[in-house]
Chains A and B, each alone.
Chain A
Amino acid sequence: MRPSAATRALLHLANVAVILFFLLPLIAALIGALQSERSLQASTRSILPPEWTFDNFRVILSGGAQKGTIFDQATYLPDNVKKIYYALANSAVISVSVTLLTLVFASLSAYTVVRLHLRWVLWLMNVNVFARFVPVIVLMIPLYVTFRRFGLLNSIWGVIIALTGFLLPYGILILAPYFASIPRELDEAARIDGCSRFSAFLRITLPLSTPALASYGAIVFVIAWNDLLIPLILNNRAEFMTLPVVIASLVGDVHVFFNLLMAICLIALAPSVLLVLLLRKFVVQGLAVGGVKG
């Protein structure tokens, strides 16, 4: 049943409003990142700036070596910004390691949940459901004290371990229902042909579950890439900071102006936004099944 022209016009209008709401902050950030401090402050009532420049990105990506025209007089650039490549590398290494570790751990556990019928495994599942409700700040204080004792502060490892633990529960919630949807007969046929349970898992269940693995992998990567609190508390030296921690460290720094901040924010959000848009279908699936965090 087709709605009337008036109804459709209204629906189009509603869509435009939603699209504007979602896009405006990002467009503003982009405009902000493409101008100088002077031009930001020059015309405070018009939407488009009088001049455009890529200098903010040039300064950041050259680690402060190239000043560009707009930073001629600027002598101070925070150490964190100069070491932006450390932050990029740390963020990448941490997110990729966490994604791989959680994929392996969660698929092993999810398989036992759906195929082995053990009472204590179901109990572990309940712990999992419960686990994702615990606010991260509650765990960070004891983790800080513990990691301090083990010398895991200011290291990549501490952050990887903590993030892996926090993101595992989501994985079991996303993967278990998908594993359960694979016909048990496939498993059994493989075992009749002489496969052990474990190799049936490796050869049958896992290859058939690529969509669920992609869903969970993409979601984990994004959450790990975006996470602030864990690396903020565990690491405070510039060499070990992730991008979100660098951004947080610039909040309230009077020497860093919004044009530079917006450029850093865009650099930080580009990888996760691109990944999510590329794997859109899988992310939507995973979120709908696992009800992951927002």
Chain B
Amino acid sequence: MVSVAAARPAAPGARIGGVAYRFGRELPPRVLGLVMNLPTMLTLALVLAYPIFYAAYLSFHKVSLAQLRRGIFPFVGLDNYHRILTDPLFLLALKNTFIFTAFSVTLEIVLAIAIALLIDQKHVWTGRITKFLILLPYAVPPIANGLIWSFLYNFDFGFLNRILFTLGLIHEPINWSGEPSTALLAVAVPYIWRTLPFAILLIHAALQGIDPAMYEAASVDGANALQRFRHITLPLLAPVIVVTLVLRTSFAFAVFDEVLAITQGGPGDATWVAAWYSYKKGFNPPFDIGVGSASAFVLALIVGALAIAYVKLIYRRIQ
């Protein structure tokens, strides 16, 4: 892929980039490391470190349109936190987020293991089509995904009802995303559709690392397919399953686009989730940015706990 000429250093006379060489010395590693990391550090400081602390700051202050115009944010202590923790809507949003995450992540991991095993069967030619198409949902913009599914769900002319009518399974249309009992499910299915490829790929990659000799040895010893899965595949997949679980959980906690496209929190408040709550409080009238920050910070703390667990896991894996 890379030509020999590119890999070989150029002749001394043709050196262009070697400024340091021309001065007869080069930057010590310490300084070079600083210079080379400068762009990353500046960007992360501006877009990550500073906003996290600023979000904490804002969550203890009254920040709304009037304060934004004047540029003065009065200190209100724990008032914003008190307000969200006594707001039934926030507690409902948290509860919905937990239900949504538990449901979608569990189903996703099970489906991902099943589909990863399926596409690993090399003698089934349809598996190659599956393998090719698996990345498709990954590339679809989440907001477009949400709208496409809300078209599928449509009560009057949606394709889900059309298919069920054609198959003769229903006689009256079903209001998939409009019923409080099914609305959260109606958001979860598109979310699973879009994020499943990622889980499949992670697990499939790990699957390919398993030595086929182990299966052969087990077969010789008389283990059937189920026993081989139970005693070889599953234990060897355990680390990657845990990683996938943690990653998917932390992202599912912040679900936003599909909610906006499909239900906008409705019907009633059946699909209010944590990120939707922060967005509605902070960026819709009355633009209560302090409350939005406080609620977002609660979300960050929950996800942060997960992140620490993940970093610990990664370290265990490296060592």
> Which listed residue (A21, A111, A275) contacts B139, Cβ 8 A?
A275
Q: Size of chain B's interface in residues, with CB distance under 8 A?
A: 122
A211 within 8 A of B: yes
Report yes or no: B29 in contact with A258, Cβ–Cβ below 8 A. no
> Which listed residue (B32, B126, B152, B202) contacts A288, Cβ 8 A?
B202
> Which listed residue (A29, A111, A120, A166) contacts B151, Cβ 8 A?
A29
Report yes or no: A165 in contact with B47, Cβ–Cβ below 8 A. yes
Min CB gap B193→A, angstroms: 7
Report yes or no: B201 in contact with A284, Cβ–Cβ below 8 A. yes
B178 within 8 A of A: no
The residue in chain B whose Cβ has the minimal distance to the Cβ of A230 is B47
The residue in chain B whose Cβ has the minimal distance to the Cβ of A207 is B6
Task: Report how far A134 CA is from B37 CA in the complex, Å.
Answer: 21
Give residues 7-62 of A contacting B (CB, 8 Å).
8, 11-12, 14-16, 18-19, 21-26, 28-29, 31-32, 40-41, 44-47
Q: Assuming the A-B contacts A15-B124, A287-B198, are A258 and B154 also in contact, with contact meaning beta carbons closer than 8 angstroms in the complex?
A: yes
B165 within 8 A of A: yes
B44 within 8 A of A: yes
> Which listed residue (A112, A261, A273) contacts B37, Cβ 8 A?
A112
> Which listed residue (B12, B166, B293) contacts A193, Cβ 8 A?
B12
Residues of B contacting A88 in the complex (Cβ-Cβ under 8 angstroms): none
Q: Assuming the A-B contacts A121-B37, A137-B254, A268-B144, are A32 and B115 also in contact, with contact meaning beta carbons closer than 8 angstroms in the complex?
A: no
Residues of A contacting B197 in the complex (Cβ-Cβ under 8 angstroms): 294
B316 within 8 A of A: no
Report yes or no: B151 in contact with A258, Cβ–Cβ below 8 A. yes
A87 within 8 A of B: no
A151 within 8 A of B: no
Residues of A contacting B44 in the complex (Cβ-Cβ under 8 angstroms): 127-128, 131, 165, 168-169
B156 within 8 A of A: yes
Report yes or no: B148 in contact with A26, Cβ–Cβ below 8 A. yes
B15 within 8 A of A: yes
Give residues 133-189 of A contacting B (CB, 8 Å).
133-139, 141-146, 148-149, 161-162, 164-166, 168-169, 172, 186, 189
Tally of A-B Cβ pairs under 8 angstroms: 368
Q: List the 4 shortest-distance A-B pairs measured between CB atoms, nearest first.
A: A165-B47, A294-B198, A133-B307, A135-B254
Residues of A contacting B1 in the complex (Cβ-Cβ under 8 angstroms): 210-211
> Which listed residue (B26, B141, B311) contacts A243, Cβ 8 A?
B141
Report yes or no: B39 in contact with A104, Cβ–Cβ below 8 A. yes
> Which listed residue (A24, A143, A145, A165) contacts B63, Cβ 8 A?
A145
Report yes or no: B275 in contact with A137, Cβ–Cβ below 8 A. yes
Report yes or no: B205 in contact with A109, Cβ–Cβ below 8 A. no
**B residues whose Cβ falls under 8 Å from a Cβ of A:** 1-2, 6-7, 9-10, 12, 15, 17-21, 26-27, 29-30, 32-33, 36-37, 39-41, 43-44, 46-52, 54-55, 57-58, 63, 68, 71, 115, 118, 121, 123-124, 126-127, 129-130, 132-145, 147-149, 151-152, 154, 156-157, 159, 161-163, 165-166, 173, 190, 193-195, 197-199, 201-202, 205, 219, 243-244, 247-248, 250-251, 253-254, 256-257, 260-261, 264, 275, 278-279, 282-283, 289, 292-293, 296-297, 299-300, 303-304, 306-308, 310-311, 314
Task: Report how far A45 CA is from B296 CA in the complex, Å.
Answer: 43
Q: SS class of chain B's interface: helix, strand, loop or mixed?
A: helix
Min CB gap A49→B, angstroms: 10
Report yes or no: B7 in contact with A141, Cβ–Cβ below 8 A. no
- The residue in A1, A19, A169, A294 that gathers the most chain B C-beta atoms within 10 A of its C-beta is A294
Report yes or no: A14 in contact with B118, Cβ–Cβ below 8 A. yes
- The residue in B43, B130, B149 that gathers the most chain A C-beta atoms within 10 A of its C-beta is B43
Residues of B contacting A69 in the complex (Cβ-Cβ under 8 angstroms): none
Report yes or no: B151 in contact with A134, Cβ–Cβ below 8 A. no
Residues of A contacting B115 in the complex (Cβ-Cβ under 8 angstroms): 18
> Which listed residue (A108, A148, A189, A225) contacts B68, Cβ 8 A?
A148
Report yes or no: B261 in contact with A116, Cβ–Cβ below 8 A. no
Q: Assuming the A-B contacts A15-B129, A124-B41, are A248 and B260 also in contact, with contact meaning beta carbons closer than 8 angstroms in the complex?
A: yes
Residues of B contacting A283 in the complex (Cβ-Cβ under 8 angstroms): 135, 138
Report yes or no: A165 in contact with B43, Cβ–Cβ below 8 A. yes
Report yes or no: B143 in contact with A133, Cβ–Cβ below 8 A. no
> Which listed residue (A117, A142, A197, A247) contacts B141, Cβ 8 A?
A247
Report yes or no: A22 in contact with B136, Cβ–Cβ below 8 A. yes
Report yes or no: A130 in contact with B307, Cβ–Cβ below 8 A. yes
Residues of B contacting A210 in the complex (Cβ-Cβ under 8 angstroms): 1-2
Task: Report how far A12 CA is from B125 CA in the complex, Å.
Answer: 8
A118 within 8 A of B: yes
Using an 8 Å CB-CB cutoff, how does the interface string of A202-242 with B read, 1 for contact, 0 for none?
11100110110000000000100110110001000000000
